[in-house]
Structure 1
Amino acid sequence: MSSENERSAEPGAGAPEQLALIRETVRRAKVPRAKPRTWRGAALAEELPVARVLVNKGVLHLDQYFDYAVPEELDADAQPGVRVRVRFGAGGRNIQGGRREGGGLIDGFIVERRADSDYQGALAALASVVSPEPVLGPDLLALCRAVADRYAGSLADVLQLAVPPRNGRAESKPSPDPLPPPPAPEPGTWERYGQGPAFLRALAEGGAPRAVWTALPGPHWPAEIAGAVAATLSSGRGALVVVPDGRAAGRVDAALTEALGTGRHALLTAESGPEKRYRQWLAVRRGSVRAVVGTRAAMFAPVRDLGLVVVWDDGDSSHSDDNAPFPHVREVLELRSAQGRCGFLLGGHSCTVEAAQLVESGWALPLLADRERLRRAAPLIRTVGDGELARDGAARTARLPSLAWGAVRDGLRSGPVLVQVPRRGYAPRLACERCRTPARCRHCAGPLEAPDQQDLNCAWCGRAERAWQCAECGSVRLRARIVGARRTAEELGRAFPAVPVRTSGRDHILDAVPDSPALVVSTPGAEPVAEGGYAAALLLDGWAMLGRPDLRAGEEALRRWTAAGALVRGQDEGGTVVIVAEPTERAVQALVRWDPAGFARRELAERAELGFPPVSRMASATGPAEALAAFLRTAGLPPGAEILGPVPVPSAGPGRPRRPGDAPPGETWERALIRVVPGRGAALARALKTALAARTAKGASDPVRIRIDPPDIG
């Protein structure tokens, strides 16, 4: 006789009870377990067994966190901020219930440890902890999230810019112990500015002053930045300085070393190499070093107790990142200042329109010298119209008018002379042949261009211009011509055969030149520093600088000119700058008065009337024509958004580096500009990000690229 258990196991025996048991088992399996304890037989962490992970996938529709179970053996190392490896798409789920994506191991960061998960199902476990070094703190995470939202990008893409690649050898080395705060510095050359000593005093007392600083010409600005950093460190806080290139970083680095001694600051530039740069970055994150100077990527440096952020020469294009989502140093440091309630210093020899807006809005105060000090520090500026070029026989060989010829000759008696020539590769917009007034569209005031050398079209709205006539002089003839730096050097060498000629440009940039007679021909931005300052400077082809196809043409030209003029000796020492450009141009007059802040204020007022950035917010959308049109139809733009264009964009030609916004070689793309009124910039970014995420989630094959606040809308 069989037992009760044996009978129940026979086919058909106890079927209703077994069916009920199976249903109950299935029901229990579907109930989410708030606190997972095992995974595939392995024990999980006893406390906080869930890790919320940011996976390293920059696609917008996956721009959110994912939950993973923490195995017991990884409990100690799997802390917030560390790098991990996870199997994405094999059980790991979106906390909002998103579908699985792909498979395989990918990198990520733990952003939080939790006791439970919002996901209604079983969780995959962390595969491994790459390193127990916590590299992503809550402040850096919040900053990156704010940057991603502002630029309609993904958090993963911003973290790629903010956290440098890991170097195991650098991590294994301990960082030095932090040094005690230095004493508060004396004002030094900050006394030349009306509110300079008060600014330093506020930093030393733990305050958070915000200023737009128009620096006087001369070599003192690195030491003045070092003084502001020293004042901040004396209050027990940290400081961050971002400059446009390695040469400027080297000058500030030397000034900080002189002011603070060694061991108090870190230099973060690409020239340092990956291991040294990562070791310096770790020293900053660990709190061993409280001050940082570096180039663009240093804007995310995790400085402890940040008390001051400094950006020098914010108009330089190097401050705008060429990787998605294309953040700008100035905007990121503004966010850091607001989030961390720390001081903010935006400095330069010139003044951008964005800087003027910060002052006009009251967000920052101006930091200026009085006119008497400015007259002594600045060189004498003289102008000559480029229509007078080579009118006399003595100057014809060198393509110089008599005034410029005399300035070169006199300057060479006491030191080097700088000659600035527009960079090869500038694409100036068309201008009137007679008076050099830029040719603009009658509909939107955009720059006119002639792609086929015949028909005129607007580069902004795409409208054809069939009967252009100069609004200033009535001429109907246009011009577009530049003589490059190499040819200029050859011509000057023939004109002054006994004087050495040095060149500095893209292929070979000089850092410095000795204080001896020489001609230094340089492209904008590559001017070397002269010991004791240049005796004179020539700024050639000014009309070409002003004729760039860009809303910022005048602002950028003035920035380039003041940067060169600041390297020349002051007027008291006989320093002279001759600019070959029409004297009536507004930017030229601003240079003569050395009044970049006044020029920026007037530009800001005009842009406010026309609805141009930075008063309005603008975004560019670029892609194949059909894809771009479909994207704009479904983008859900905020009310009042205005679309300019679309217009064709150039493709990257053979041998030319591809810039953001260029079409791939052989493809035809278009670009549209989307403009909104002040106060709707965040809504525009959200709408574009949402539309792009939806497009990506549907697997659209044709790309559409978004850039918020494009630096070049010409």
Structure 2
Amino acid sequence: MRVAQVLVDSGLVHLDRPFEYLVPEELDEAAQPGVRVKARFAGRDLAGYVVERSDVAEHTGRLAPIRTVVSSEQVLTPQVLELARRVSRHQAGTVMDVLRLAIPPRHARAEKALPVEPPALADGESDEPAADQQVEGEDPPSPVPAPEVWAGYRAGAAWWSRVAAGESPRAAWLAGPSRPAASDWPRALAEAARAALLSGRGSVVVVPDQRDVARVDAALTEVLGRDQHVRLTADQGPQARYTAWLKVLRGHVRVVVGTRAAAYAPVRNLGLVAWWDDGDDLHEEPRAPYAHVREVLMTRADVEDSALLVGGLAMSTDVAALVDAGRVHLVGGSTSRREAPRVLVAGEGVDEERDGPGARAHIPSSAHRAASAALQQGPVLLQVPRRGYLPAMSCATCRAPARCPECRGPLALPAPDQAPRCGWCGKSPRGFECPHCDGTRLRAGIIGARRTAEEIGRSFPGTRVITSGAGEVHEEVGSQPAIVVSTPGAEPVAEGGYAAVLLLDAWASLDRPDLRAAEEAVRRWVLAAGLARPWSDGGVVVLCGAPSHVTIPAVEALVRWDPQWFAARELAERAELSLPPTTWTAEVVADRRRVEPIEHAVRAAAPDAQLLGPLPVTGSQDKRRLVVTAPFGDGPLVAAALKDVRAGESARKAADLTSVKVGHLTVG
């Protein structure tokens, strides 16, 4: 008897396991482990993957046959299957949830157009590079010297050399700012991929967005040569994306760079997993099972025994926790102040006495002077926390936030020639009357990027003003004098670096109701400031709008250029309060009638677990939000209990299943 175990994409949590099917004789050769098939399930033909073959069935009854083999391509590798199983267990999800993200939809034309064997193998050559192989009786080959970009970091050359020698060291890399292209972070990532190739292994590099992919792609082409790597991103068409993915699966290339989904790329003989800017929320998967790139790649490094590298100009508390636990070792982190730009805080020192009210303006006098001087040397960057024109307004009399009379949403001004509009319901009230003081006039509460571009344009007539943000993101600007107004994450790279960087409305970044508000503020500031020229070349950064009545660690970290110190301090404070990432955490959103069974299930699985809430969910009368925290040792038990809850709901055909997001607690 020919039997296949098939993972069927049923979408049902309680059926998250393989099912046995009979393999018809005509499909025996094609229905191999890893191929896509169609199988009859609950009266429908559903897609699935063969995960195992055997000659004996465990089921004693009659087996249904596999209907068809969609393709003989073995798209589900054993390594990716094991990775999917581990990630789904950790995230209280299902294996098929992970595989939908890991394996792109089939494109038949791409399968036929791409040669099955790599070009080198077509000529009878070996799949493994022979440069590092030692012939018996000969002296071992001399080690390849570490590239200059890694030799400039503390412990960087040692880490690179160990990867090139075939070892699997794990590092948290704190990159230096204000680097020229030949030694900037994209070049360092490309050299890390080359180290893995020197040992006969492949690598996966994950970055937050398309602009970062383009920069690393160019660096990989320069270091490895053309056609030695592929890109995997969501903006590729179905055929282009599947072709690139097949090149990896079939062994045509061994290096992949891309965004979130590239973390699952089926690289042969994987030797390195790397990701950049751990704190960027683009690394968080918005679809079930909501796994962060960090969780996926760290699990993958365990599954395939590969080297690991997490890099960034700033350090997230999650990475700081890994360093503190000894799971990764620090590389870099000793940036000289002359290599970083000079950082000034507007309103400090003699600014208040010299400039009066101008020291606390939206663009303070000290920032205006710095921009005026810098424009003689090159471009100037202004980072504005909010997009739009006036994204928030307030009463001109009492300064209370202006609210919509219909839904109590915030009022905003989309453009100077339009009426104020509610940010929730979209309606424009006919008039405004403050419920606190009966005032009828509005003033700007928060100034957005468009309004800032207008103001700065009037201050520097004749200077080109470039805006970069949602809908129009610029990748690069030249070295000529210009003013660039950008929202966080959309800052273009300037040729030769910016002569000055102005970080506006620091209070808006620090005052968000978010557990990670200060951490995110440091990350945004450091990423923008890292685009400036070094202090030795006259680069200056001015932080505007920071509160001056109290010492703020986030501001101190920027001035000292010490994001590692800030991350360690933040982690210590979280540990005192048992907040993530020092504890296992999950956010659960469920129907209000299911909260009590969930609480019982969690307490039965882990008596030491704590439950916070439930709290109402904005926009829903029946939904409740519950936060579960537990010691890390109890995390797998709580995850299993929450999955059992979801499986029970699925078996009862509940209309809306409970949502579980492990490790995604952000709102305070």
TM-score tier by shorter-chain length is 0.7 to 0.9
Q: Could you give the per-residue CA deviations for residues 518-561 of structure 1, whole angstroms, max 9, x where no partner exists?
A: 11000000001111110000001111101112111111100000
Counterpart of 2:119? Answer: 177
Counterpart of 2:646? Answer: 692
| Per-residue deviation, 1:288 | 1.4
Counterpart of 1:213? Answer: 173
Q: Among residues 643, 654, 670, which one is paired with 2:611 in the alignment?
A: 643
Counterpart of 2:556? Answer: 589
Structure 2 residue identity aligned to 1:375: R
Q: SS in structure 2 opposite 1:680? A: helix
Counterpart of 1:600? Answer: 567
Structure 1 stretch 185-194 or stretch 520-529: which is displaced more? 185-194
Structure 2 residue identity aligned to 1:577: V
| Per-residue deviation, 1:61 | 0.2
| Per-residue deviation, 1:711 | 4.7
Counterpart of 1:291? Answer: 255
Counterpart of 2:341? Answer: 379
Q: Is the 8 A contact 1:187 1:227 kept in 2?
A: yes
Counterpart of 1:626? Answer: 593
Q: Could you give the per-residue CA deviations for residues 241-279 of structure 1, whole angstroms, max 9, x where no partner exists?
A: 000001101100100100010121111112222111111
1:147 pairs with 2:87:
yes
Instruction: Give distance in 1, aligned partners of 2:556 and 2:382.
Output: 20
Instruction: Give distance in 1, aligned partners of 2:567 and 2:444.
Output: 26
Counterpart of 2:71? Answer: 131
Structure 1 residue identity aligned to 2:304: G
Q: SS in structure 2 opposite 1:271? A: coil
Cα 1:336–1:682 change in 2 (3 A) is same
Q: Is the 8 A contact 1:243 1:249 kept in 2?
A: yes
Counterpart of 2:403? Answer: none
Structure 1 stretch 333-342 or stretch 517-526: which is displaced more? 333-342
The number of residues matched between the two structures is 593
Q: Is the 8 A contact 1:397 1:495 kept in 2?
A: no
Q: Is the 8 A contact 1:70 1:78 kept in 2?
A: yes
Instruction: Give distance in 2, aligned partners of 1:194 and 1:710.
Output: 32
Instruction: Give distance in 2, aligned partners of 1:260 and 1:595.
Output: 33
Q: Among residues 373, 377, 393, which one is paired with 1:414 in the alignment?
A: 377
Counterpart of 2:429? Answer: none
Cα 1:707–1:390 change in 2 (3 A) is farther
Cα 1:391–1:638 change in 2 (3 A) is farther
Structure 2 residue identity aligned to 1:53: V
Instruction: Give distance in 2, aligned partners of 1:427 and 1:86.
Output: 55
Q: Is the 8 A contact 1:582 1:588 kept in 2?
A: no
Counterpart of 2:495? Answer: 531
CA RMSD of aligned residues (A): 2.6
Cα 1:680–1:647 change in 2 (3 A) is same
Q: Is the 8 A contact 1:386 1:582 kept in 2?
A: no
Instruction: Give distance in 2, aligned partners of 1:293 and 1:130.
Output: 28
Q: SS in structure 2 opposite 1:347? A: strand
- Greater Rg over alpha carbons, structure: 1
Instruction: Give distance in 2, aligned partners of 1:505 and 1:369.
Output: 30
Identity over aligned pairs, percent: 49
| Per-residue deviation, 1:142 | 0.2
Instruction: Give distance in 2, aligned partners of 1:341 and 1:242.
Output: 18
Q: Among residues 266, 271, 284, which one is paired with 1:320 in the alignment?
A: 284
1:683 pairs with 2:637:
yes
Instruction: Give distance in 1, aligned partners of 2:562 and 2:90.
Output: 32
Instruction: Give distance in 2, aligned partners of 1:136 and 1:378.
Output: 46
Counterpart of 1:709? Answer: 663
Instruction: Give distance in 2, aligned partners of 1:180 and 1:262.
Output: 19
Q: Is the 8 A contact 2:36 2:74 kept in 1?
A: yes
Q: Is the 8 A contact 1:70 1:126 kept in 2?
A: yes
Instruction: Give distance in 2, aligned partners of 1:391 and 1:81.
Output: 72
Q: SS in structure 1 opposite 2:502? A: strand
Q: Is the 8 A contact 1:545 1:557 kept in 2?
A: yes
Cα 1:602–1:427 change in 2 (3 A) is farther
Instruction: Give distance in 2, aligned partners of 1:291 and 1:80.
Output: 25
Structure 2 residue identity aligned to 1:196: G
Counterpart of 1:244? Answer: 208
* Uncovered stretches (5+) of structure 2, i.e. residues with no partner: 121-126, 133-143, 393-406, 411-442
Counterpart of 1:305? Answer: 269
Instruction: Give distance in 1, aligned partners of 2:475 and 2:495.
Output: 11
Instruction: Give distance in 2, aligned partners of 1:65 and 1:600.
Output: 43
Q: Is the 8 A contact 1:268 1:295 kept in 2?
A: yes
Structure 2 residue identity aligned to 1:239: S
1:547 pairs with 2:511:
yes
| Per-residue deviation, 1:211 | 0.5
Cα 1:357–1:396 change in 2 (3 A) is closer
Structure 1 stretch 682-691 or stretch 362-371: which is displaced more? 362-371
| Per-residue deviation, 1:177 | 2.2
Instruction: Give distance in 1, aligned partners of 2:389 and 2:589.
Output: 22
Q: Could you give the per-residue CA deviations for residues 406-459 of structure 1, whole angstroms, max 9, x where no partner exists?
A: 111111111110000113499999xxxxxxxxxxxxxxxxxxxxx9699xxxxx
Report the TM-score when normalising by structure 1: 0.79
Counterpart of 2:5? Answer: 52
Counterpart of 1:110? Answer: 50
| Per-residue deviation, 1:393 | 8.6
| Per-residue deviation, 1:369 | 4.7
Counterpart of 1:574? Answer: 538
Q: Could you give the per-residue CA deviations for residues 288-335 of structure 1, whole angstroms, max 9, x where no partner exists?
A: 111111111000001111111101001100101000000100111111
Q: Is the 8 A contact 1:153 1:325 kept in 2?
A: yes
- Superposition map of 1:554-569 within 5 A: 554-569=518-533
Counterpart of 1:191? Answer: 151
Structure 1 residue identity aligned to 2:102: A
Cα 1:229–1:595 change in 2 (3 A) is same
Counterpart of 2:363? Answer: 400
Q: Is the 8 A contact 1:688 1:706 kept in 2?
A: yes
Counterpart of 2:237? Answer: 273
Instruction: Give distance in 2, aligned partners of 1:390 and 1:88.
Output: 77
Structure 1 residue identity aligned to 2:446: I
Q: Is the 8 A contact 2:609 2:628 kept in 1?
A: yes
Q: Is the 8 A contact 2:598 2:642 kept in 1?
A: no
Q: Is the 8 A contact 1:537 1:568 kept in 2?
A: yes
Structure 1 residue identity aligned to 2:152: R
Instruction: Give distance in 1, aligned partners of 2:334 and 2:572.
Output: 24
Counterpart of 1:167? Answer: 107
Q: Is the 8 A contact 1:61 1:697 kept in 2?
A: yes
- Superposition map of 1:459-478 within 5 A: none
Structure 1 stretch 171-180 or stretch 248-257: which is displaced more? 171-180
| Per-residue deviation, 1:704 | 1.9
Cα 1:290–1:619 change in 2 (3 A) is same
Q: Could you give the per-residue CA deviations for residues 571-601 of structure 1, whole angstroms, max 9, x where no partner exists?
A: 1110000001135211010011111111111
Structure 1 stretch 166-175 or stretch 293-302: which is displaced more? 166-175
Q: Is the 8 A contact 1:587 1:599 kept in 2?
A: yes
Q: SS in structure 1 opposite 2:632? A: coil
Instruction: Give distance in 1, aligned partners of 2:485 and 2:388.
Output: 16
| Per-residue deviation, 1:633 | 3.9
Cα 1:338–1:689 change in 2 (3 A) is same
Structure 2 residue identity aligned to 1:407: A
Instruction: Give distance in 1, aligned partners of 2:356 and 2:606.
Output: 62
Cα 1:426–1:232 change in 2 (3 A) is farther
| Per-residue deviation, 1:385 | 4.4
Cα 1:490–1:394 change in 2 (3 A) is farther
Q: SS in structure 2 opposite 1:142? A: helix
Q: Could you give the per-residue CA deviations for residues 662-701 of structure 1, whole angstroms, max 9, x where no partner exists?
A: x5xxx55221111112311111111111111112212223
Structure 2 residue identity aligned to 1:252: V
Cα 1:133–1:237 change in 2 (3 A) is same
Instruction: Give distance in 2, aligned partners of 1:481 and 1:546.
Output: 16
